[in-house]
Amino acid sequence: MKVLLMGHPNVGKSVVFNRFTGVDVITSNYPGTTVEYSEGSMRAEGEEVTVIDVPGTFSLEPKDKAEEVAVEMLEKEKNAVVISVVDASKIERGLYLTLEIIERGYPVVLALNMWDMAKHKGFNIDVNRLSEILGVPVVPTTAVSGEGINKLASVLKRARPIEVETISGRAGGRV
């Protein structure tokens, strides 16, 4: 199994990556660029999993070289599970990219990272309802402390491509 960690810059993708892989990491430049990415491995539910920390991107419509590399990596890994890492305290920003990835037919798991900060700011995110609306597993995480990381790994096999048209219906037309 291959897992791509995708999300905006500075949402904690690399911290999630380090929690998953420990010291088993290879950092490389993407071919023909100076854009770096990291690749490592972990075991999840008895299976060897390759984890790739994709360069940060705001959307799948690239505006710079790092975003171009992120989109190329996604397109190259058609069978990968994508963990969309979102800053839970800025959830509305990250959901756009998450929806773009879902629309492209990838199996997605949504990691609501920085969960502690969102709670501190008084956010009340109904994780179960968000999962129901999006049709993907949603896991609150605080990567710096390790909270939610084991659960995140345990739901990878539940990720499935979904029919995009059904998202609006599950949200009652409010997406």
* Number of structural domains the chain divides into: 1
d(CA 68, CA 36): 12
Single-letter amino acid code for the residue at 171? A
55 three-class SS: coil
Report the predicted TM-score, pTM, of the whole model to 2 decimal places. 0.90
Half-sphere exposure of 4 (CA within 13 A, CB side): 25
Residue-level pLDDT at 8: 95
| Contact assessment for residue 120 and residue 45, using Cβ atoms and an 8 Å cutoff | no
With contact defined as beta carbons under 8 Å apart, do 54 and 4 qualify?
A: yes
Query: Distance from first CA to last CA of the chain, Å, rounded?
Result: 31
- Residue 71 falls inside a structural domain: yes
Q: Is 87 domain-assigned?
A: yes
**Helix crossing, 91-103 with 127-134: angle to 10°?**
30
**Closest among 164, 109, 167 to 141, alpha carbons compared:** 109
Which tops the pLDDT comparison, 156 or 46?
Answer: 156
CATH of the domain at 100: 3.40.50.300
- For 78-119, the pLDDT digits (tens) are 999 999 999 999 999 999 999 999 999 999 999 999 999 999
pLDDT digit string (tens) for 18-69? Answer: 999 986 566 666 767 668 888 999 998 888 999 999 999 999 999 999 999 9
Average pLDDT on 123-138 reads 96
pLDDT in the model for residue 46:
86
What residues does 52 pair with on adjacent strands?
4, 39
Domain-located, residue 52? yes
88 found inside a domain: yes
**CA-to-CA distance for 87 and 56, rounded, in angstroms?**
13
Residue 95 lies inside a defined structural domain of this protein: yes
Expressed as residue numbers, the domain containing 42 is 2-170
What type of residue is 20?
F
The verdict on residue 164 lying in a domain is yes
- Predicted confidence at residue 166, as pLDDT, reads 55
Residue 146 forms part of a structural domain: yes
For residue 175, being part of any structural domain is answered with no
